[in-house]
Amino acid sequence: MTVYKRAGEILREQRGATVVILAAAMTVMLGMTALVADVGVNYLRQVKIAVAADAAALAGGTQLGKGREAVTQAALEIAEKNGLAPEQVMIEVDEDQTGLTVRAVAATKLIFGKLFKLQDGQMKQAARVVRARPVAFYNVFPLGVEESVSLDYSKQVNLFGKELLGSGNWGALSFKDADGKYMTGASVFREFLKYGYSGVVEIGDVVLCKGGVNMGPISDGIQHRINEAAKTHPCSLGGCPSDCPRVLILPIYNETAVKDEVVVVDFAAFWVASISGSGAKTEVWGHFIRPHVRAAASVEGESKYGLTSIRLIR
Ligand SMILES: [Zn+2]
Distance (Å) from CA 231 to ligand 1 centroid = 9
CA of 50 to the centre of ligand 1 (A): 33
Ligand 1 centroid, distance to 72 Cα (angstroms): 25
Instruction: State residue 167's pLDDT score.
Output: 63
Distance 246 CA to ligand 1 centre (A): 6
10-residue stretch averages of pLDDT, the chain, 314 residues long: 61 70 84 81 87 95 90 96 93 93 88 70 91 95 91 90 70 88 89 94 94 84 96 93 94 93 96 89 92 90 91 85
The whole-number pLDDT of residue 197 equals 94
d(CA 166, CA 147): 14
Please give the distance, rounded to the nearest whole angstrom, from the Cα atom of residue 58 to the centre of ligand 1.
22
Task: Give me the pLDDT at residue 213, please.
Answer: 74
Residue 272 CA to ligand 1 centre (angstroms):
9
Give 245's strand partners: none
In the reported structure, the alpha carbon of residue 279 is separated from the centroid of ligand 1 by a whole-number distance in angstroms of 25
Q: Are 52 and 71 in contact (CB under 8 A)?
A: no
**Ligand 1 centroid to residue 309 C-alpha, Å:** 18
- In angstroms, what is the span from residue 236 Cα to ligand 1's centroid? 6
Distance CA 199, CA 249 (A): 13
Question: What pLDDT is attached to residue 23?
Answer: 84
Ligand 1 centroid–CA 276 distance in Å is 18
Centre of ligand 1 to C-alpha 249, Å, is 14
Q: Whole-structure pTM over 0.85, yes or no?
A: no
Distance 190 CA to ligand 1 centre (A): 20
Backbone angles phi, psi at 29, to 5 degrees: -65, -40
| C-alpha of residue 233 to centroid of ligand 1, in Å | 6
Query: Torsion-angle region of residue 139: left (phi > 0), alpha (psi -120 to 50) or beta?
Result: left
The number of helix segments (H) and strand segments (E) in the chain equals: 4, 13
How far is ligand 1, taken at its centre, from the CA of residue 202, in Å?
24
Q: Each residue of 122-177: pLDDT tens digit?
A: 889 999 999 999 999 999 999 999 998 889 999 999 988 777 766 666 788 999 88
The per-residue pLDDT for 4 is 62
SS3 (DSSP) at 30: helix
| Angle made by CA atoms 134, 186, 258, in degrees to the nearest 5 | 60
**Cβ within 8 Å of residue 263, ≥6 positions away:** 204, 205, 206, 207, 253, 254, 255, 256
